[in-house]
Amino acid sequence: EDEAFLEAFQKRIDAEEKIEPNDPMPGGYRKTLVRQIGQHAHSEIVGMLPEGNWITRAPTLRRKAALLAKVQDEGGHGLYLYAAAETLGVSREQMTEELLSGKAKYSSIFNYPTPSWADIGTIGWLVDGAAIMNQIPLCRCSYGPYARAMIRVCKEESFHQRQGYEIVMTLAKGSPEQKQMAQDSLDRWWWPALMMFGPSDKDSAHSEQSMAWKIKRFTNDELRQQFIDATVPQAEFLGLKVPDPDCRWNKETGHYDHGEIDWDEFWRVVKGGGRMNRDRIADRKKAWDDGAWVREAALAHAEKRRDRMEA
Ligand code: ACO
């Protein structure tokens, strides 16, 4: 790729032009997007599992209907995102194979277990809350298909976040046992939710280039701080405490200070060593294998139709 091409591309980016599938683009730009959109799609698909776990045990019909809708939305987001990645020349089969072989990453957050009903509330509140914080700026991503997909996804995520917060609010206002369930769940999910934003800026391999290409609009640490600033007052409103003794309002900076994140835990989970990594991939593999007959039947049907058209 010659200098002049890269310069002309950067000019388009700087002028806030959207890049579309058939436009010339640097190989690195394409590769970064395939990686990020693919990882994002996998996260939505794997993200159905921890909550799917509670659909049959939701405490009321209303809760069950909302949870079912939410998990279905996540499946839809995954398909949307796979379609966005396909515009860059990668196939869904290829991406799925990379997920199942462990080559492609998905969000660390989905490798934690959901032992209590309160976790369904906390996931909506914190995990979807963090996802929105990260995804709103992606609506302005320089790559058109990704940016447009994010608009609808963010609307649905905001419903997910509110349904979660409402579950936690109900528990927090309930019996002492229910309040304890909510607190216990917050204790388990707080730090993993902060890790969702990715490594701190000094260790983030891709941030600088992704910011220059306007794929990312904020750094990992900036978004993490925004999330903390928005969420700590919500915990206070619920009468719950975030499990960080160093978390306090800092008048000078106008932000909440926070304690050190356990990056060893983050990398261990990212590399496959979390509590649920093995189960998650095994579940996805089973779903993919069980669906083989559907793919085969669809293919056979398409071939038959083509033959009939040609005859
Ligand atoms: N879980 C797993 N892997 C992660 C995470 C995480 N929470 N955060 C960062 N990583 C990986 C990156 O993929 C990268 O690995 P790679 O080089 O092998 O691809 C490595 O850690 C270094 O991180 P960064 O250089 O900071 O990577 P990047 O610039 O891509 O930033 C981020 C990471 C913020 C997650 C970005 O990819 C992004 O915004 N993605 C879209 C949103 C998304 O995927 N959300 C999924 C969870 S939300 C949901 O599904 C409901």
> What pLDDT shows up at residue 1?
83
pLDDT in tens, 46-81: 999 999 999 999 999 999 999 999 999 999 999 999
Contacts of 6 (CB under 8 A, 6+ apart): 26
For residue 80, give the 3-state DSSP assignment.
helix
Which stretches in the chain have pLDDT values below 50? none
Q: How far is the CA of 106 from the centre of ligand 1 (A)?
A: 8
For residue 251, give the 3-state DSSP assignment.
coil
Tell me which residue has tokens 């436009």.
23
CA atoms within 13 A on the CB side of 226: 16
Ligand 1 pocket, residue 119 CB under 6 Å: no
> What pLDDT shows up at residue 311?
83
Ligand 1 pocket, residue 35 CB under 6 Å: yes
> What pLDDT shows up at residue 180?
98
> What pLDDT shows up at residue 201?
97
CA atoms within 13 A on the CB side of 58: 20
**Over the chain, what is the mean pLDDT?**
97
Contacts of 150 (CB under 8 A, 6+ apart): 135, 136, 138, 139, 141
Length of the chain: 311
Q: How far is the CA of 253 from the centre of ligand 1 (A)?
A: 27
Ligand 1 pocket, residue 32 CB under 6 Å: no
What backbone torsions phi and psi does residue 19 show, to the nearest 5 degrees? Answer: -95, 130
> What pLDDT shows up at residue 299?
96
